[in-house]
Structure formats: C-alpha cells, structure tokens
C-alpha cells in the first residue's frame, strides 16, 4: 500500500527501481493461450484451466517460463558494498500498514515479498515469485497459487500456505478500510489445499478484470510471529514480522537512520527473476529535516546516491568540490514511467470549491510558463492529462470507441465534452501575473457570484470573503508557491500560506483537514480495480483521493474499467474518464519531468540498457570495489 504521508508517497510511487518490493492493487489479468502452456490442468467440473508462470490481462507475456534472466540486468553483477540514500522528515514506526498511527520508515515494506512480482520493461505482466505457477479457469471464478517449496522467512523457518492464508485474514480485518472493503467484496472463500497450495474463490458478482492480479499482489507475513507477539497490522511498531525478502532491517535509529542488510541465506538468489538484482550488501537511509540539509550532507559524502527533485539545485548547485574532483557523477537518465498527476488540489469537500468556475479562476492565475522559465530553468513540461502518456491520454475531440462510450452518458455530461477538445492547461505570458488570465478569472468569479469589494477582496452576496488556506510542509517549495499566492491575492482571494511540520501535515491530510495543497494522484498504464479506489464516489474520503472527487459518470466508467475484457476497451474507457476529470478541474495541473536526475559518488555501475519503466538504483545497479577504495583513499567519503 502507499505510504499515507503524501510527500513521501509520491516519491515511493515513482520509484520504479523498487518495483519488486511494491505492487499497487493490480488491475490486470490475461488468459494465456493453452497452446503456449504445457501441462494444462482440469478442474473437477472439467472446465479448461490455464496453468502458467505469469499472467497479463490484456497483453502478451514477454518472458517464457524458461527464461534465464531479465533483459535489462547484468546477471554477473557482483554482490557487495553499500548504497546510501536520504529521506526527509522523520519516522517512528516500521509498520507501513498502520495508516492511522505513526510515520513508517522508508522502504519498510521491502522485507516482505508478494506472490508475484512485476518487471520494469512491461506493462501489466506479473510473474510468479513466491509461487511456481498460477492456475485459473476460463471464467476466472477462482485462482490457485502453487507455492515454491524452498521459500523461507529471514529467521530460517519455511513459508507455507498457512502464512498466505493468515496474511490474507489480517488484510481483511486490519488493513485500511478501502482495502478491507475491496478484498472482502472480491474474495468469497480462501483456503490452503495443502502446505504449498492456496486457492481463492471469487464472489460471483465481483468484476472479473483484476481478480488474479489483485490476489497475485498479496504479500506474505509469518503467522507464527503474529500469534506469538499479539501484534496487529493497524498498530504502529518498530518490531516487524520476519519477511521472505532479500533485505532485513539491521539497524534502526528512530528518526535518523535505517540500515537494511542483504540476507545471506535469502531463498531466492538463484531464481531467474532475481538474477542480477539485489546486489548491495547494505542499503542505508539517512534522515534529514529538509532537502537543503540533505543536499549539504550529500556534498560532504554523508550519503552516496541522490535523486534530485529541485530544478534550481540541478541547474545551479552541482559545482561543489566533489564534482570538480571527479568524485561525483551527475546524469540525466530517461524516465518512461507515467508521471504522477501532480498539482494544486482542491478539497471538494469544502463548499467554497463546489462551483467549477471558482476552481477555474483560481487555476487561471497560476503561471506555468513564468514559473518554469524563471524558477525552474525551463527544465519541465506542462502536465495536461491524468495519464500523461500517449497510451491512455484523451486528445482533441472524442472519436471512435471513446465517443461511443461518452454518448451513452450524454444527458449527464456538459456539451463541451463533445464539442471542445480535451481540456488543456491555460497558456500564460512571461510576466508573473498574466493580465489576460486575471481578467478571465475575475469574469468567472463574477459569474459564480463573487465580486470585488472596496478592499480588493472577493465577496459573495452574503458579504463573506473567499478565504483559502494553502497547506504545505516543505520549505524548499516556498519559492514556487509564493508567486502563485501573490497572484491569488491580486485576484482578490483572502489566501493564507500555512507551512506546517511533517507530523501536522500528515495528521491534517489524513483527516482531510485542508483547503488546498500540492498533491497528486498515482495512475497506471493499465487500469483496473484500483481505478475506483482513486476516483469513485464510494472512496471519495480515501487517502488515495485527496480532492474527494466524485462524479456519477466517472463512477460508472470505473465499474466498466474493472470489467473491461480487452486493452482497447480499457483504454477507451480511461480516455473518456480522463476527458471528464480534466473538465471537472479539481486539480490545477503543474509540471512533469520525464527524466531521472541522479548524482552519485562514482563507485556504482548500472546496465547500459536501462528499462523504460525503471531506474533501479536500489535493485539492479551494483558496487565497484576498486572505485570505492580509490574514493576512500582520496578522502571523498565520510
């Protein structure tokens, strides 16, 4: 699950290099052709049953059952050394599932594995990890996972079907409300058929799409530890159950540092999906109060790998001695992952934002052009779509299957959906406040019943001012948001910029106690059951739906996305939803990069053919001992 602290969550969500440790609620499944599968089984009812090492709902599976290793790894990468990274803020728990208590440490979910895993060069395929094969009938009324018999937890005890079933029960009773509701409405029965076989039978009326992917994403914890300790998933704790993963927590200094060590007895070192991966002996995470302190520490060699997210730093600050000495390497690497739908989020639960014209007016005075050129060194592109990728992005006027879908809801949709191109962000001039956009914003406000008083503030017919609080926690964001705040004041909004500490920010966002903030939605290039958790009315108060967005047509499309039986239908449905959501304008779109900015002390190496959807610095990069010793001799590292 996502880390509920949103500023950390967006970073985790975009870190494709830890894909094998993180899996979003899968919305994927694919009936693999029986001709490609040897040894297909039959159920008692004599229905055809597919047996496979992998699964993809809509596309072909890239790697066959007998593949040697992933195409983008170095299977001969040496094992050893340490990579160290930074995290901002603090932590007081190592339980990432206690969403109402504490702040979990970075990568705290890395110690547990899931039944299946994804790759960084495909969309939608899952491969057996803790299982050997997946079985399911043509109607996907159930799924069986045949488990590997050599999987062990970090304490050396074997993992069995009992652990899978016990973890499933924990998730049904102690996980987040939205996950509990989703899993209980999906799974009717679950059982261990023997020590290494688990079966999940689905509710008859549950959507078919995403069933197998959902259950494949199930992680596995140790039943014995929970029974002996009495621990709960929904309670904050620094003690966690043993996992089956490659890494285990070795040192925990609360709020300051976490060190994970590679388990020398890890069960899965030699399976094909893992060859060339998990190459570091240690992953060290250093915590800093803010990004400025972290950058200074990196320059001094207190940690060794940095993913830069500040355009001003990237453009102006990489001229420190370690760069000049050649100790630090600085690179731009391609990033083909779908960018998060980031922007200034309106809390639609607040009555003042119910009128779309008010939201549009507030958005009109954000100036991307000036911000990018003057504050971000022209390094970014303006985000348009919730799916900023050609695969699922609505473009121009609706046509083809997308238009057919929208026509079914024509009486519930505004005419502009059919007559105007998919809503694009407004254009702005090269001054901080675009006067044309200001005039347009004032006109929209007047239409919505807000007029400018003698003191320059907007007031409604009751004489109330339009009061808006911006909530933020990062000091480094001040230079971006302050010009926008000034433009809003010029519009007449009685705006307050409230920067709070991370714990306050977390508590308020968890409680939906905000008016506007810089937030995000994390989407996928293949949508399924997880779409509703982000955009349905039923889950409008969920942490994954910060705006509280609710639209009846998008609700209907959500159900159909979950039921889509082919990729083209799913894509048309998502494009239709994208078009409506952009029209509804519940988030002021900002920027995206499409690159990975990385800097690191020159003792790490990576494959030349990095995959489209992954950076992989914690996964399939490796350590060069000779380069490390040279840096040490030169005094480059602390």
586, 598: one domain: no
357, 500: one domain: yes
Helical axes 435-447 vs 356-364, angle rounded to 10°:
170
In angstroms, rounded to a whole number, what is the distance separating the alpha carbons of residues 526 and 476?
A: 34
Q: In the structure, what pLDDT confidence band is assigned to residue 38 with cuts at 50, 70 and 90?
A: very low
> Is residue 443 one of the residues assigned to a domain?
yes
Residues 104 and 98 sit within 8 Å (Cβ to Cβ): yes
pLDDT higher than threshold 60 for residue 20: no
pLDDT, averaged across the chain? 90
Residue 234 main-chain phi, psi, to 5 deg: -95, 15
pLDDT higher than threshold 60 for residue 263: yes
User: Exposed/middle/buried for 93, CB within 10 Å: 0-12, 13-18, 19+?
Assistant: buried
In angstroms, the Cα distances linking 325 to 312, 319, 320, 368 are 22, 10, 9, 37
> Where are the strands (E) in 121-264, listed by range?
126-128, 131-137, 142-147, 187-194, 197-202, 247-253, 257-262
More confident residue, 173 or 22: 173
pLDDT higher than threshold 90 for residue 6: no
pLDDT at 547: 97
CATH number of the domain residue 251 falls in: 3.40.190.10
> Where are the strands (E) in 195-272, listed by range?
197-202, 247-253, 257-262
Stretch among 110-114, 436-440, 540-544 having the lowest mean pLDDT: 540-544
pLDDT at 182: 84
Q: Which of 176, 198, 229 is the last residue of a domain?
A: 229
In angstroms, rounded to a whole number, what is the distance separating the alpha carbons of residues 202 and 184?
A: 10
Tokens 């959500």 correspond to what residue? 558
Q: How many CA atoms lie within 13 A of 505 on its CB side?
A: 23
Tokens 């000034």 correspond to what residue? 486
> Is residue 506 one of the residues assigned to a domain?
yes
323, 392: one domain: no
Which token pair is 14?
Answer: 């975009």
In angstroms, rounded to a whole number, what is the distance separating the alpha carbons of residues 303 and 285?
A: 8
583, 550: one domain: yes
User: Exposed/middle/buried for 189, CB within 10 Å: 0-12, 13-18, 19+?
Assistant: exposed
| pLDDT tens digits for range 520-571 | 999 999 998 889 989 999 988 888 899 999 999 999 999 999 889 889 999 9
pLDDT higher than threshold 60 for residue 5: no
328, 351: one domain: no
> Is residue 289 one of the residues assigned to a domain?
yes
Residue 495 main-chain phi, psi, to 5 deg: -100, 140
In angstroms, rounded to a whole number, what is the distance separating the alpha carbons of residues 606 and 227?
A: 42
| pLDDT tens digits for range 406-433 | 999 999 999 999 999 999 999 998 899 9
> Is residue 80 one of the residues assigned to a domain?
no
In angstroms, rounded to a whole number, what is the distance separating the alpha carbons of residues 25 and 217?
A: 7
404, 527: one domain: yes
Tokens 């596309």 correspond to what residue? 59
pLDDT higher than threshold 50 for residue 36: no
> Is residue 56 one of the residues assigned to a domain?
yes
Per the rule left: phi > 0, alpha: psi between -120 and 50, beta: everything else, 299 is alpha
> Is residue 87 one of the residues assigned to a domain?
no
Residues 126 and 113 sit within 8 Å (Cβ to Cβ): no
The separation between CA 425 and the C-alpha centre of its own chain, rounded to angstroms, equals: 23
CATH number of the domain residue 127 falls in: 3.90.76.10
pLDDT at 445: 98
pLDDT higher than threshold 50 for residue 292: yes
Q: How many CA atoms lie within 13 A of 460 on its CB side?
A: 11
pLDDT higher than threshold 70 for residue 26: no
433, 317: one domain: no
For the chain, the domain total comes to 3
pLDDT at 47: 66
More confident residue, 615 or 429: 615
pLDDT higher than threshold 70 for residue 276: yes
In angstroms, rounded to a whole number, what is the distance separating the alpha carbons of residues 221 and 209?
A: 26
> Where are the strands (E) in 76-186, listed by range?
82-88, 116-117, 126-128, 131-137, 142-147
Q: Are strands 595-601 and 305-307 parallel, antiparallel or unpaired?
A: antiparallel
Q: Are strands 494-499 and 467-472 parallel, antiparallel or unpaired?
A: parallel
Residues 292 and 86 sit within 8 Å (Cβ to Cβ): no
CA angle 623, 626, 632 (to 5 degrees): 95
Nearest Cα to 170, choosing from 115, 251, 98, 108? 98
222, 262: one domain: no
Q: Which of 197, 229, 261 is the last residue of a domain?
A: 229
CATH number of the domain residue 487 falls in: 3.10.105.10
587, 598: one domain: no
Residues 448 and 357 sit within 8 Å (Cβ to Cβ): yes
Tokens 């609360």 correspond to what residue? 254
251, 397: one domain: no
Round the CA-based radius of gyration of the chain to a whole number and report it.
25
> Is residue 264 one of the residues assigned to a domain?
yes
> Is residue 84 one of the residues assigned to a domain?
no
| pLDDT tens digits for range 446-483 | 999 999 999 999 999 999 999 999 999 988 899 999 99
158, 252: one domain: no
pLDDT higher than threshold 90 for residue 78: yes
Q: Which of 229, 261, 283 is the last residue of a domain?
A: 229
215, 266: one domain: no
Nearest Cα to 611, choosing from 219, 73, 43, 181? 73
| pLDDT tens digits for range 228-249 | 999 999 999 999 999 999 999 9
Q: How many CA atoms lie within 13 A of 76 on its CB side?
A: 0
The range of the structural domain enclosing residue 255 comes to: 247-337+594-633
In angstroms, the Cα distances linking 373 to 66, 315, 480, 488 are 51, 12, 12, 20
End-to-end CA distance of the chain, in Å?
A: 35
């Amino acid at each position: 699950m996502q880390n509920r602290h949103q500023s950390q969550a967006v970073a985790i969500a975009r870190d494709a290099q830890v894909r094998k440790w993180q899996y979003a609620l899968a919305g994927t499944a694919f009936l693999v052709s029986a001709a490609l599968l040897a040894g297909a089984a039959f159920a008692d009812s004599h229905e055809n049953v597919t047996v496979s090492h992998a699964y993809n709902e809509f596309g072909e599976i890239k790697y066959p059952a007998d593949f040697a290793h992933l195409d983008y790894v170095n299977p001969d990468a040496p094992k050893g050394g340490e990579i160290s990274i930074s995290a901002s803020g603090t932590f007081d728990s190592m339980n990432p599932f206690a969403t109402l208590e504490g702040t979990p440490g970075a990568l705290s979910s890395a110690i547990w594995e899931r039944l299946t895993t994804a790759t960084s060069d495909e969309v939608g395929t899952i491969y057996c990890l803790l299982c050997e094969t997946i079985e399911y009938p043509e109607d996907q009324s159930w799924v069986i996972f045949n488990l590997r018999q050599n999987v062990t937890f970090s304490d050396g005890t074997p993992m069995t079907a009992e652990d899978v079933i016990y973890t499933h029960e924990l998730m049904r009773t102690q996980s987040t409300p939205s996950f509990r509701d989703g899993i209980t409405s999906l799974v009717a029965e679950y059982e261990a058929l023997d020590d290494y076989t688990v079966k999940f039978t689905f509710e008859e009326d549950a959507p078919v799409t995403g069933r197998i992917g959902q259950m494949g994403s199930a992680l596995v914890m140790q039943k014995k530890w929970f029974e002996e300790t009495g621990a709960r998933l929904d309670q904050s704790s620094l003690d966690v159950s043993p996992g089956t993963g490659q890494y285990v927590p070795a040192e925990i200094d609360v709020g300051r540092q976490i060190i994970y060590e590679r388990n020398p007895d890890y069960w899965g070192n030699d399976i094909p999906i893992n060859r060339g991966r998990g190459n570091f002996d240690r992953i060290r995470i250093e915590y800093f109060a803010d990004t400025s302190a972290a950058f200074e520490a990196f320059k001094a060699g207190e940690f060794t790998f940095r993913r830069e997210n500040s355009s001003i730093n990237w453009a102006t600050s990489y001229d420190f001695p370690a760069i000049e000495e050649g100790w630090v390497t600085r690179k731009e690497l391609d990033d083909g992952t779908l960018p998060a739908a980031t922007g200034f989020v309106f809390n639609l639960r607040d009555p003042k934002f119910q009128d779309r014209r008010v939201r549009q007016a507030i958005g009109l005075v954000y100036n991307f052009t000036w911000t990018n050129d003057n504050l971000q060194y022209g390094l970014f592109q303006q985000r348009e779509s919730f799916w900023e990728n050609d695969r699922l992005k609505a473009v121009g006027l609706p046509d083809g299957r997308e238009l057919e879908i929208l026509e079914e809801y024509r009486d519930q949709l505004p005419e502009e959906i059919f007559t105007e191109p998919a809503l694009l962000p407004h254009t702005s001039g090269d001054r901080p406040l675009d006067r044309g956009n200001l005039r347009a914003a004032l006109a929209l406000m007047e239409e919505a019943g807000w007029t400018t008083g003698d003191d320059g503030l907007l007031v409604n017919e009751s004489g109330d001012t339009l009061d808006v609080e911006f909530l933020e926690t990062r000091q480094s964001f001040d230079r971006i948001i302050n010009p926008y705040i000034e433009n809003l004041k010029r519009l007449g909004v009685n705006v307050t910029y409230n920067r709070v500490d991370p714990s306050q920010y977390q508590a308020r966002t968890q409680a939906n106690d905000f008016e506007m903030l810089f937030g995000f939605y994390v989407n996928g290039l293949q949508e399924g059951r997880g779409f509703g958790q982000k955009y349905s009315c039923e889950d409008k108060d969920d942490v994954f739906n910060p705006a509280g967005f609710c639209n009846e047509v998008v609700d209907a499309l959500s159900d159909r996305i979950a039921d889509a039986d082919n990729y083209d239908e799913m894509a048309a449905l998502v494009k239709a939803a994208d078009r409506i959501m952009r029209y509804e304008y519940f988030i002021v779109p900002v920027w995206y990069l499409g690159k990975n900015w990385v800097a690191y002390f020159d003792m790490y190496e990576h494959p030349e053919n990095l995959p489209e959807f992954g950076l992989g610095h914690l996964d399939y990069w490796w350590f060069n001992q000779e380069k490390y010793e040279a840096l040490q001799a030169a005094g480059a590292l602390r």
